[in-house]
Amino acid sequence: MRTYEIFLKRDGQEEYRHAGSIDAPDDELALLLARENYLRRAEGDLLWMVDRQHLLIGDRDFVAPNSDKPHRDNDGLLVAAHRKSQRESR
Amino acid sequence: MGRTWSSMDDFEAFLNDGGMVEVDDDMPDEYRTAVFRFIELHANSELMGGLTERDWIPMTPGLRHKMAVLAKSQDEIGHGHLLYMVAADLGVKTRREMLEDLFAGRSRFHNVFHYKVRTWGDQVAICLLVDGAAVPSQKAVYKDCSYGPYKRILKRILAEEGFHLRLGEERVLRIAEGTDAQRAMFQQSIDDWWWPALRLFGPDSKPNDRLARWRLKSEKNEVMRAGWVQKFVPMLHSYGFTIPDPGLTHDAQTDTWTCGPIDWEPLKRTMAMDGPDTARRIAEASAAWETTRWVRDALDAAPAGAVA
């Protein structure tokens, strides 16, 4: 038995999204089971499936360094505060 | 596994109904080519813009803004990357062919990247006026885009362009609060970049534009251009700067700013690859492509599945 991860996409507006996983003995049956379990009421119109053992995973420690890079962002608050103080001093 | 259409009428009816085209669909060749050219032009422009941004990393004043410009350069090159992947999947040219065409001067990029960036003031003006023109243009493509892979990538690109535009607004605030010399430098940059940025929207849209019919564009050029004028004229005036347009008019009743007559000759020259800085920009991009050849060679030589 192998475990597969299932991704569904609904029309062109969305990216593929993870829907869940399924156990199956081979690819053919996995596809069939995925359709019967995850696409019961047109939850998507395209399906991607990947054997879990082929997933490459970047874990939290690997991803973490990029959550501390505030210079990549700009919330516009500094400019907004300045313009507000300008308006009020008029 | 993709869908097929029996005729162009059939395909256009599908688009008219709000249909989304995916990469494996058997789309008409005219549509495939038009989408490809559109994305290739966008990708080339992101890359050419990113390379200029990179040139300014050492010259950007202050650590905070230097770090931000590092991130912005990475973003722009990254956008090029994302777009080249989407374009390559259309099967018209490979990513390598697109890059080689760009560096050989065989394919186009947007008009604003054909001009020389002389001062920090220019960088500030570009970050405000050019990014301020790119965002509404890309939003108008994103809004109703019929090609799914492009639409999904644009969502991500637009989020990052939003950071850049807010960064531009912050830079303008800083330079406006600067010394007389800094303000004079920025006024010169507005004078030099106002018109090229305005021309980025292109001439008025034609009534039966096929890119509009195929839902690659959802807004007329003149409408986006008018919105841009309406946004930036009051903003720059509020900081005490002037707009280099003697024909600029203001309707006091509706508080609407309208630009004067537009000279399209400079746009035609850049589209013919004959802008003021075209040759130097291409030469520099081409040189960067050559000096990084060893990376591509090393990647090509690596055995499949080798651990990096």
Range list of H helices, B56-179: 63-88, 95-103, 120-125, 131-144, 148-176
In chain A, residues with a C-beta closer than 8 Å to the C-beta of B14 are: none
SS3 of A21, please? strand
Q: Does B124 touch chain A (CB under 8 A)?
A: no
Q: Does A80 touch chain B (CB under 8 A)?
A: no
* Per-residue pLDDT tens over the stretch A38-78: 998 888 988 999 999 999 999 999 999 998 888 888 888 98
Q: pLDDT tier at B300 (50, 70, 90 boundaries)?
A: confident
Q: pLDDT tier at A14 (50, 70, 90 boundaries)?
A: confident
How is residue A26 written in tokens? 């081979």
Q: Does B77 touch chain A (CB under 8 A)?
A: no
Q: What are phi and psi of A23, to 5 degrees?
A: -100, 135
Question: How many angstroms separate the CA atoms of B2 and B83, rounded?
Answer: 22
- Is the model's pLDDT at B175 over the cut of 80? yes
* Per-residue pLDDT tens over the stretch B11-54: 999 999 999 999 999 999 999 999 999 999 999 999 999 998 99
B79-108 burial: b if 16+ Cβ within 10 Å, else e: bbebbbebbbebebbeeeebbeebbeeebb
Nearest to B238 by CA among A77, A83, A89: A83
- Cα B290 vs. chain centroid, distance in angstroms? 24
In chain A, residues with a C-beta closer than 8 Å to the C-beta of B20 are: 11-13
CB contact under 8 A, A72 and B170: no
Q: Does B148 touch chain A (CB under 8 A)?
A: yes
Q: What fold characterizes domain B8-301?
A: Ferritin (1.20.1260)
Q: pLDDT tier at A18 (50, 70, 90 boundaries)?
A: very high
Q: Cα distance from B21 to chain A (closest Cα, Å)?
A: 7
Q: Does A89 touch chain B (CB under 8 A)?
A: no
In the beta sheet, which residues pair with residue A2? A24
Average pLDDT over residues B239-257: 97
Query: Which residues 17-56 of chain A have a CB within 8 Å of chain B?
Result: 46
pTM, full prediction:
0.91
Residue-level pLDDT at B307: 57
Residue-level pLDDT at B60: 94
Q: Does B152 touch chain A (CB under 8 A)?
A: yes
- Is the model's pLDDT at B308 over the cut of 60? no
Q: Does B70 touch chain A (CB under 8 A)?
A: yes
**CATH no. of A2-89:** 3.10.20.520
Angle of helix B131-144 versus helix B221-238 axis, rounded to 10 = 140
CB contact under 8 A, A12 and B169: no
Q: Nearest residue on chain A to B147, judged by CA atoms?
A: A12
Q: Nearest residue on chain B to A83, judged by CA atoms?
A: B173
In chain A, residues with a C-beta closer than 8 Å to the C-beta of B170 are: 74, 76, 78-79
Question: How many angstroms separate the CA atoms of B92 and B90, rounded?
Answer: 6
How is residue A40 written in tokens? 């019961």
Q: pLDDT tier at A12 (50, 70, 90 boundaries)?
A: low
For chain A, the structural domain boundaries read: 2-89
Q: Cα distance from A15 to chain B (closest Cα, Å)?
A: 7
Q: pLDDT tier at A90 (50, 70, 90 boundaries)?
A: confident
CB contact under 8 A, B151 and A13: yes
CB contact under 8 A, A74 and B70: no
